């Protein structure tokens, strides 16, 4: 995420194979127990659930501008990771459920606590077996307004709505295992009145108009964290192309922004050039397409939604700056394909996304990375920037400056410690090693030690695990 004006600014691999375990006499007496109501994240104990692993979300949604509401059917395909007597999905807000089925059979359900949809199937679900949950529901989704973390979820816009889910918004729109550690593939089938465009992550597989309604089908083939899923509905001008290296590219600008065609084209071209530049530094672009969407949502941030970031534009007529594009596109490697194990690890997203801004500024604006570091490091010791730990910013601090700027500074000091050769090897090796997966701060420190053949405990203790402005040692390397 990047908040404006200052550049402030994000999960385990789904196993998709439905392993069939042959029935044995022991099954008749197997114990079935409830899945956990949370994924075990200390910052967000209600988020996510235990006992299963989602493989795919099939979200069919009709948006009606007259009511500003949705009518939806979401089918979740998952694999039980234990014998389940019951399990939870996360589902938030006022949407009314009209039907809920597990494997095609009506199932009992209850909505409890902060965001739990507790589902009790007719019979227990056996470990390692695949199952489907089909939920039909409707209503006007609510927005999440968190005093510390801002607005997310379903956000109305002048000509439609946008769904931006970091960190807890997804459950306002679809029943979900809402934690970055449960990635899945997605299909979005979106129906809107003719003339209203519906955009999502991934690739457009086709549109069909029937009477007054148009249906667009989007497919996400790469595993995606729920917090990175996105919808944008409104009157958009859409441009498509390919980057120089051949990556399909799609940008869209909401007509209410009044962006002139030459600027809209610049948005497409800059997105392409930065994606290619970053692929040269970070390794192969991790997804099937790139792009970006400029909206007017009044939320004052941009978000690294997978394959297609969303930029909320405060000023009409303008497109996102190059550094902002570099930040959100850099996240595609740092945050999106490699996602945090716990929200406490978010500096791995934001530190690298901020460092992506610095690398961009060096390449495209002639500002050396060292100068960007020096400017950030100049913050006085009393600055809030030096309060708290980069590796553990606290639930309310996940979007604070320390995660971003101190995160990027930590990365620069790591570069100076291990040297450019090892550093650039690390930039490529890390996203490749954890592709479509999750990693922790400790995973990163160990990985960097392996790549550089150096003991990095002192660096990690000073820059990641301690509070306060660190002393700068003698400069080595770059
Ligand atoms: Zn960010």
The pLDDT tens digits of the residues spanning 162-184 come to 999 999 999 999 999 999 999 99
Full-model pTM? 0.93
pLDDT tens digits along 382-440: 999 999 999 999 999 999 999 999 999 999 999 999 999 999 999 999 999 999 999 99
pLDDT for 260 equals 98
Distance in Å, CA 327 to ligand 1 centroid:
6
Give CA–CA dist 282/356, Å, rounded: 10
Distance in Å, CA 258 to ligand 1 centroid:
26
Distance in Å, CA 398 to ligand 1 centroid:
11
Please check whether the domain covering 339-463 is classified as CATH 1.10.390.10. yes
Distance in Å, CA 344 to ligand 1 centroid:
14
- Candidates 3.30.830.10, 3.10.450.50, 2.60.40.1730, 2.60.40.3880; correct CATH number of 33-227? 2.60.40.1730
Q: What is the mean pLDDT of the chain?
A: 94
Q: Up-side HSE of residue 298: CA atoms within 13 Å toward CB?
A: 11
**Domain boundary assignment for the chain:** 33-227, 235-332, 339-463
Locate 224 and state its tokens: 């995606």
Q: Which fold has domain 235-332?
A: Neutral Protease; domain 2 (1.10.390)
Distance in Å, CA 330 to ligand 1 centroid:
9
Distance in Å, CA 444 to ligand 1 centroid:
18
Answer yes or no: are the C-beta atoms of 359 and 326 closer than 8 Å. Answer: yes
Distance in Å, CA 241 to ligand 1 centroid:
25
Residue closest to 233 by CA, chosen among 154, 166, 167: 154
Answer yes or no: are the C-beta atoms of 70 and 129 closer than 8 Å. Answer: no
Identical fold for domains 33-227 and 339-463, yes or no, is no
Distance in Å, CA 285 to ligand 1 centroid:
18
Distance in Å, CA 399 to ligand 1 centroid:
8
pLDDT under 50: residue ranges of the chain:
5-26, 476-478
Distance in Å, CA 3 to ligand 1 centroid:
8
pLDDT for 26 equals 46
Give CA–CA dist 17/126, Å, rounded: 14
């Amino acid at each position: 995420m990047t908040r404006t004006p200052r550049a402030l600014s994000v999960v385990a691999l789904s196993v998709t194979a439905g392993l069939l375990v042959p029935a044995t006499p022991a099954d008749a007496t197997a114990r079935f127990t409830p899945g956990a109501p949370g994924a075990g994240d200390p910052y967000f104990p209600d988020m996510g659930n235990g006992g299963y692993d989602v493989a795919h979300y099939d979200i069919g949604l009709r948006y009606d501008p007259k009511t500003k509401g949705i009518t939806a059917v979401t089918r979740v395909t998952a694999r039980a990771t234990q014998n389940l007597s019951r399990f939870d999905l996360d589902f938030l807000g006022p949407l009314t459920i009209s039907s809920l089925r597990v494997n095609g059979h009506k199932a009992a359900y209850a909505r409890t606590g902060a965001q739990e949809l507790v589902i009790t199937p007719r019979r227990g679900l056996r470990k390692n077996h695949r199952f489907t949950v089909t939920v039909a529901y409707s209503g006007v989704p609510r927005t999440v307004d968190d005093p510390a973390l801002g607005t997310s979820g379903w956000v109305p816009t002048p000509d439609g709505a946008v769904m931006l889910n970091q960190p807890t918004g997804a459950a306002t729109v679809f029943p979900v295992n809402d934690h970055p550690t449960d990635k899945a593939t997605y299909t979005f089938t979106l129906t809107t009145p003719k003339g209203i465009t519906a955009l999502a992550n991934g690739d457009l597989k086709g549109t069909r108009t029937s009477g007054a309604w148009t249906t667009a089908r989007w497919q996400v083939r790469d595993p995606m964290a729920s917090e990175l899923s996105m919808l944008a509905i409104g009157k958009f001008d859409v441009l498509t192309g390919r980057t120089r290296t051949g990556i399909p590219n799609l940008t869209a600008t909401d007509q209410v922004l009044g962006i002139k065609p030459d600027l809209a084209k610049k948005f497409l071209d800059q997105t392409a050039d930065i994606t290619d530049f970053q692929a040269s530094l970070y390794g192969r672009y991790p997804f099937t397409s790139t792009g970006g969407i400029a909206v007017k949502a009044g939320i004052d941030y941009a978000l690294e939604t997978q394959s297609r970031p969303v930029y909320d534009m405060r000023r009409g007529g303008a497109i996102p700056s190059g550094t902002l594009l570099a930040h959100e596109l850099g996240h595609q490697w740092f945050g999106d394909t490699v996602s945090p194990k716990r929200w406490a690890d978010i500096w791995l997203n934001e530190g690298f996304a901020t460092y992506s801004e610095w690398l961009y500024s060096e390449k495209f604006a002639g500002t050396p990375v060292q100068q960007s570091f020096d400017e950030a490091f100049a913050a006085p010791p009393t600055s809030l920037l030096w309060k708290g730990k980069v590796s553990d910013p606290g639930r309310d601090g996940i979007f604070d400056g320390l995660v971003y700027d101190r995160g990027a500074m930590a990365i620069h000091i790591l570069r100076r410690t291990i040297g450019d050769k090892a550093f650039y090897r690390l930039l490529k090796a890390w996203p490749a090693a954890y592709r479509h997966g999750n990693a922790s701060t400790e995973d990163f420190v160990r990985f960097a030690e392996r790549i550089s053949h150096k003991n990095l405990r002192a660096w990690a203790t000073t820059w990641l695990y301690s509070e306060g402005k660190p002393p700068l040692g003698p400069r080595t390397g770059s």
